[in-house]
Amino acid sequence: MKNMKINRLLVALTFIASLAMAGCSDFVDTEMDSPVVPSNSPAVRFLADNQTSYELEPGENAKFTLTVKRNNEGSALQVPITVVTNTENGFVVPDNVSFAAGQATADILVTMSPTAPTGTPLTLELAFADEFVNPYLAEYAAYKGEASLLNWVKFSTGIYTSGFFEASWEQDLYMAEGTTKFRFYDLFVEGVDYNFDWEVGEVAIAPAGTPNSSGYMVQESGYVHSSYGMVSTSTDPDPTYTYYNSTTKTFSFDRQWTVAAGSFGWLTDTYEITEQFVD
């Protein structure tokens, strides 16, 4: 009886081994060779610091430039541009990018179509054919970004009061049609705007800017202090401190005013609407 059990075990092991051998014989090595890049490849690619998000105003200036570079720049080169994604056909892209002999970089001028919709992000993806690129480089042979056409209309006129500057002045507030984006043009200094998001009539305000380690939204004011340099505002987005009061039609912005050397402290700015043009 013991010998019979041993024999059955040997038969079972032999059967399993035969299945394993059959499986191995059916295996096909599908490993593919890595692409070989010739030494004279132009390795065309987009610069890593190309901007990937644009907010533009409709009109003839609704355009932006993307910079590409190449290797082996000895001779002139023309590279076809492949448009992978063009939302709503909102972008007008040239068919090629051209490098003059000896030129390492070239620009692609992208313009917004006159029929592009406003108030919504539009996506653009571009690429170059494999024969012109080197997949092993850190910079990319493809680009993906988005642009929004924003039609700014006057939302209101009012009085802006600055705790930091200890002054009040008339100020217009603008709204991008079809969005929740708002802007004070030239708020503290000409050429420097202040931006925020707001659902009309709601309490909460979402200041634009870059969040710092405390979660406050930082924007440069444009004002350069004579001793300490550029002054920035760090606005607290908490609606307890930064908010809209619908009864008084007043915005309150609780801000810390800072320079590289430190802080001037927390002060509150207000904007009281005296006349509203958009509901």
By DSSP bridging, strand 53-56 and strand 142-149 are parallel
User: Which residues of the chain fall short of a pLDDT of 50?
Assistant: 1-13, 15-16, 19
**pLDDT per position as a tens digit, 202-228:** 999 999 999 999 999 999 999 999 999
**pLDDT per position as a tens digit, 249-279:** 999 999 999 999 999 999 999 999 999 999 8
Q: Rounded to two decimals, what is the model's pTM?
A: 0.77
Query: If you search the block for the tokens 């006159």, which residue do you land on?
Result: 114
Would you say how long the chain is, in residues? 279
d(CA 79, CA 71): 13
